[in-house]
A = this chain, B = another copy of it.
Amino acid sequence: MLLSKEQLDRYREDGFLLVESALDEREVTALRDAFARDCEVPGPQRVVEEDGTRVRAVYASHQRQPEFAGLTRDARVLQPVRQLLTDDVYVYQFKINAKPAFGGERWSWHQDYVAWRVADALPAPRQVNVGVLLDDVNEFNGPVIFVPGSHRAGLVRDDRSDAARSEQHLDPDDIALSPEQLEAMVSSHGMTSPKGPAGSLVFFSPEIVHGSAPNMSPFPRRLLLMTYNDTANLPSWAGEPRPEYVVCRDTTPLRPLDGPFLDRAGHVPALEGAAL
């Protein structure tokens, strides 16, 4: 899948782009099943809710489940990322957020790249995020909210505070925009939240200001997030690096699959080899 010139322009202008129903129902079901499987794998990559039972997020599922490994290279995802960024990209971070019914944390308004620069010394905002809706997203179940065009202002909060720097898992509050900063942003740009059926994709900039409302609905809302980084823009650490499940170490440039990821997932050993 290649983005049209109009789509590319819209991404540059707004800082995000919604592609509805890029994946079909069978594919979404397979990804949900793979997520359920991955939620059973114990380890620090699995973050549970305060109640200790429900899984809130899982990192690096593409290192364990062949469906996700395939997805990271599916042409519908990877081709647009290469158009938007550069030919040589790899997965810097992979996570799935399960926002439970009636809640889920509310994320403060922030820009992703602030966190990555502080935590991983990423030299430049040479990333593209891809969100994959694993459930239908509507205004009630905690959609991501963007301030469209806010990425064009660069970093609003240029924070290298010790509070943020010391965290292995960055707390969004540590990198949150101030009320005054957000008020100015929203006054000129407004707010918008892409919604769509499960299987839709949202490409978005590492510099776009965004937040997320709680899930007011009685149904969970699962969102898969892949961050691709330019292989010429690698992280480095003066002290302890962040764990490998948070910041992936395999920086081999990814090449698109020649067919949909599910058709290839049956051939896992041939497909992924040592990368799994």
Binding site for B on A (CB under 8 A): 101-102, 106, 139-140, 145, 179, 182-183, 186-187, 191, 193, 211, 213-214, 216-219
Kindly identify which residue among B140, B179, B182, B211 contacts A191, using a CB–CB cutoff of 8 Å. B140
Given contact pairs A139-B139, A139-B193, A140-B191, A216 touches B145 in the complex (Cβ within 8 A): yes
Q: How far is the CA of A140 from the CA of B144 in the complex (A)?
A: 11
Query: Is A214's CB under 8 angstroms from B217's CB?
Result: no
Q: Known pairs A140-B193, A182-B218. 9 more at Cβ < 8 A?
A: A101-B179, A102-B182, A139-B139, A145-B216, A183-B218, A186-B217, A186-B218, A187-B218, A191-B216
**Assembly stoichiometry (copies):** 2
State how many angstroms separate the Cβ of A142 from the closest Cβ of chain B: 9
Q: How far is the CA of A187 from the CA of B217 in the complex (A)?
A: 10
Query: Is A179's CB under 8 angstroms from B102's CB?
Result: yes
State how many angstroms separate the Cβ of A28 from the closest Cβ of chain B: 20
Q: How far is the CA of A106 from the CA of B102 in the complex (A)?
A: 10
State how many angstroms separate the Cβ of A201 from the closest Cβ of chain B: 21
Query: Is A213's CB under 8 angstroms from B216's CB?
Result: yes
Kindly identify which residue among B101, B106, B140, B219 contacts A145, using a CB–CB cutoff of 8 Å. B140
State how many angstroms separate the Cβ of A189 from the closest Cβ of chain B: 11
State how many angstroms separate the Cβ of A228 from the closest Cβ of chain B: 28
Q: Of all chain B residues, which has the CB nearest A138?
A: B191
| Residues of chain B lying within 8 A (CB to CB) of residue A106 | 214, 216
Q: How far is the CA of A35 from the CA of B53 in the complex (A)?
A: 45
State how many angstroms separate the Cβ of A173 from the closest Cβ of chain B: 12
Q: How far is the CA of A101 from the CA of B214 in the complex (A)?
A: 15
| Residues of chain B lying within 8 A (CB to CB) of residue A145 | 140, 216
